[in-house]
Structure 1
């Protein structure tokens, strides 16, 4: 009888030990938690993009028109020339284009108004080169610093603050241990 009670007690203790969540985290597990979080909540940079009926001057807006034509060659927008006029005794001409977003641009368009759209110009993805740097604060929280590399989208030339000081950013996330879900990024 005593052996039976000891056997049952040992099974109960082993069962409780198996059900308790793991309170330590290593570099690989922290990286996979951050990767899972970035899939659900991607990091990106946006800008406002003009479309619709736009007038271009052949002198002053040559670079802007070239940006739109590159987008057209990639299938992101369609350009339709509505009007072309040459100023009298001038080398400058003006063009009016109807610019329309195509279906191919939809994954990069976040918000769309009548003649402006908020588009992704840069997406940040977890860098493979720099390892995940983490420190476990206590048994249920950890701080993880990762390097996110910059991936330009087709709309990157329209970024008004397109300074290319670096091709990555570092970001720190706080991980919290949940009894039900394990390690998760705390928002």
Structure 2
């Protein structure tokens, strides 16, 4: 009987220590948690993009037309000339194009409103060069600072704020330990 109670007590102690959740986190685990979070909630920068029927004047808007032609060459938009008013020996000719988004552009288009769309111009991904910097605040929370490198998309020429001071951003996330799911980013 005494042996049985000793076996039962040792079984309970071993069971309780085995069920204890891990309350520490290391650099690799923090990077994995942030990577999973960024897959579900990507960081990006957006801009407004005009499409539909757009008029271009030869002297003023040729640079803008070049942006659309670049997108058309990559298959993100289709460009069809609807009307061309070419004035003889004049620089003030005008062209009207019908611009439509293609299926290839759909991963970069976030929202459409009539003849305007909100598109991703820059996406941020976890940098491989700079390590994850983290500090464990207490047994159930940690602060993680990561470097996210900038990756431009094909819509990047439409970014109004084109003066980029750096090709990365630094972001701090707060991690919380959940008994059910483990370490997760707290929103």
Task: Please state which band the TM-score falls in when normalised by the shorter chain.
Answer: over 0.9
* Match of residue 17 from structure 1: 17
Q: CA deviation at 1:86?
A: 2.6
User: Aligned partners of 2:22, 2:2: CA distance in 1, in Å?
Assistant: 32
Say whether residues 1:134 and 2:120 are aligned partners. Answer: no
Rounded to whole Å, the distance in 2 between the matches of 1:35 and 1:88 is: 59
Query: Aligned to 1:54, what secondary structure does the other structure show?
Result: strand
Match of 2:103 in 1: 103
State how far apart, in whole Å, the 1-side matches of 2:10 and 2:46 are.
58
1:143-162 aligned at under 5 Å gives the runs 143-162=143-162
The Cα offsets for residues 108-143 of structure 1, whole Å up to 9 and x where unpaired, read as: 001111100011001100000000000000000000
Q: Which runs of 5+ in 1 are unaligned?
A: none
Q: TM-score, normalised by structure 1?
A: 0.97
Match of 2:163 in 1: 163
Query: Deviations for 1:28-77, whole angstroms, at most 9, x for unmatched residues?
Result: 00000000101111111111100000000111111100000000000000
**Structure 2: runs of 5+ lacking an equivalent:** none
Report the Cα distance in structure 1 between the residues aligned to 2:2 and 2:134, rounded to whole angstroms: 48
Q: How many residues align?
A: 187
How far apart are the structure 1 equivalents of 2:34 and 2:162? Answer: 26
Q: Secondary structure at the match of 2:78?
A: strand
* Equivalences for residues 71-86 of structure 1 within 5 A: 71-86=71-86
| Distance in 2 separating the partners of 1:32 and 1:186 | 15
Q: What SS is found at the alignment partner of 1:55?
A: strand
Q: Distance in 1 between matches of 2:169 and 2:161?
A: 15
Structure 2 counterpart of 1:64: 64
Asked whether 1:40 is paired with 2:40, we answer: yes
Helix, strand or coil: the match of 2:12? helix
CA distance in 2, matches of 1:11, 1:92: 89
User: Secondary structure of the equivalent of 2:121?
Assistant: strand
Alpha-carbon distance, 1:89 to partner: 5.6
Shift of 1:88: 6.0
